[in-house]
Structure 1
Amino acid sequence: MKVAIAGAGAVGRSIARELLANRHEVTLFERESRKVDPEAVPGAEWVTGDACELAILERAGLQDYDVMVAATGDDKANLVVALLAKTEFAVNRVVARVNDPRNEWLFDEDWGVDTAVSTPRMLASLVEEAVSVGDLVRLMTFRQGQANLVEMTLPDNTPLAGRPVRKLALPRDVALVAILRGNRVIAPQSDDSVEGGDELVFVAPEEVEPDLKDAMHLG
């Protein structure tokens, strides 16, 4: 997979290193030449220039990339990068960093954003996830399709204990994607059962989240 990353600060470089470790091709765009340091991210390609400029993206051949990550520290720049990547180069997947949570409402499909990542939102979700039992916690919003990644921890005394996945009365368009049980990560099959204390991870449209809570006896 070919990934372009706009912004080679601490966040952009960290993302690049993770992707390179997983054998993806990575190109970092950095407008400040003093920050261009190939030795800091071995294996990455570097482009010196502003990723908000169409000519820079054209010269890099952005149309050949699978993913664009807008990871600068400026929300306005991230929105411009996302819009150019999606509308001018038809990049299949655009992920954008939200620096100021007050701007999060802008990061949607109108600006070419498929997935917006807000560090404050994620940290708050992780705090909630760590202390919440018997409640639904939203971990991430997928802008494309208006679905959310949500988690719930079943109480130890849940009436669903021992019930197979196929018999869970899940609302329409909800998918159970993982069961976390102790140190195990279970990709649920129809005959797998849920147990008290399980952490369940779903993809669900926002409007059916209350129905999901009811179906899992968390109301």
Structure 2
Amino acid sequence: MRVAIAGAGAVGRSIARELVRSEHDVMLIERKLEHVEQESVPEATWVHADACELSSLEAASLETYEVVIAATGDDKANLVLSLLAKTEFGVSRVVARVNDPRNEWLFDESWGVDVAVSTPRMLASLVEEAVSVGDLVRLMTLRQGQANLVEVTLPDNTPLAGKPVRKLQLPRDAALVTILRGGRVIVPQQDDPLEGGDELLFVASVDVEDDLRTAVGLS
């Protein structure tokens, strides 16, 4: 897969290294010359350019990349790049970094963003996930905010204990993805029994989260 990353700071370089390890074709676009450190990710293609300039993106042949990651430290730049990537170059997948949580509402399909990644939001979700039992915790937003990856840890005294997965009366736009039990990752089957302490991961639309709480006995 060909992936273009705008912003070659610590975040952009780290993403590039991970993608290179997975044998993806990576291009790093960096506006500041002092941040162009080819030796830090020698396997990547480096471009010294402003990712917000249409001519620079044309010269970099952005239309040949399947994924664009807007990972600069400037939310305005990330939004502009996302919009250009989607509307001018037809990039199929645009992932954008949100630096200021107050700007998170802007990072949606109207700006060409498929997935918005907010580090403060993710850290807060991980903290909640670590300490919350018997509540629904959002871990990640998917598909331009239309659905979320959510987690529920069943309390030890859950009324669902011993019942098979098929007994879960899930709302229409919710799906059980996996069950985490101790060190095990379980792909749920209809006859698998639920247990107290299970961590259930769902993909669900925002509109049905209250119904999902009811289905797992939280309300």
Letter of the 1:175 partner, please give it: A
| Worse-superposed segment, 139-148 or 14-23 | 139-148
Query: Tell me, what secondary structure is at the counterpart of 1:52?
Result: coil
2 CA distance for matches of 1:22 and 1:192? 33
2 CA distance for matches of 1:103 and 1:51? 20
Q: Deviations over 1:123-156 (max 9, x none)?
A: 1111111100000001111243611111110011
2 CA distance for matches of 1:195 and 1:127? 23
- Residues 3 and 68, structure 2, Cα contact 8 Å, conserved in 1: yes
Letter of the 1:46 partner, please give it: W
| Structure-2 residue corresponding to 1:188 | 188
2 CA distance for matches of 1:184 and 1:90? 40
- Residues 116 and 143, structure 1, Cα contact 8 Å, conserved in 2: no
2 CA distance for matches of 1:190 and 1:56? 52
Q: Deviations over 1:14-68 (max 9, x none)?
A: 1111111111111100011221111101311111101111111111111111111
1 CA distance for matches of 2:25 and 2:193? 39
| Structure-2 residue corresponding to 1:216 | 216
Aligned counterparts, 1:86-165, within 5 A: 86-144=86-144, 146-165=146-165
2 CA distance for matches of 1:75 and 1:54? 18
2 CA distance for matches of 1:5 and 1:104? 20
Letter of the 2:75 partner, please give it: D
- Residues 140 and 149, structure 2, Cα contact 8 Å, conserved in 1: yes
Q: Aligned residues, how many? A: 219
Query: Tell me, what secondary structure is at the counterpart of 1:26?
Result: strand
Aligned counterparts, 1:194-205, within 5 A: 194-205=194-205
| Worse-superposed segment, 79-88 or 37-46 | 37-46
Over the aligned positions, Cα root-mean-square deviation in angstroms equals 1.1
| Structure-1 residue corresponding to 2:49 | 49
- Residues 135 and 153, structure 2, Cα contact 8 Å, conserved in 1: yes
Letter of the 1:112 partner, please give it: G
Letter of the 1:59 partner, please give it: A
Letter of the 2:68 partner, please give it: M
Please state how far the C-alpha of 1:192 moved relative to its aligned partner: 2.4
TM-score by length of 1: 0.97
1 CA distance for matches of 2:74 and 2:29? 14
Please state how far the C-alpha of 1:162 moved relative to its aligned partner: 2.3
Q: Deviations over 1:154-180 (max 9, x none)?
A: 011111122222221101110111111
| Structure-2 residue corresponding to 1:69 | 69
Query: Tell me, what secondary structure is at the counterpart of 1:151?
Result: strand
Please state how far the C-alpha of 1:183 moved relative to its aligned partner: 1.2
1 CA distance for matches of 2:131 and 2:67? 34
2:19 aligned with 1:19, yes or no?
Answer: yes
Query: Tell me, what secondary structure is at the counterpart of 1:161?
Result: coil
| Structure-1 residue corresponding to 2:207 | 207
Structure 1 unaligned blocks of 5 or more: none
Query: Tell me, what secondary structure is at the counterpart of 2:149?
Result: strand
Structure 2 unaligned blocks of 5 or more: none
Percent of residue pairs bearing the same amino acid type:
75
Aligned counterparts, 1:1-40, within 5 A: 1-40=1-40
- Residues 108 and 145, structure 2, Cα contact 8 Å, conserved in 1: no
Letter of the 2:8 partner, please give it: A
2 CA distance for matches of 1:181 and 1:133? 14
- Residues 75 and 98, structure 1, Cα contact 8 Å, conserved in 2: yes
TM-score by length of 2: 0.97
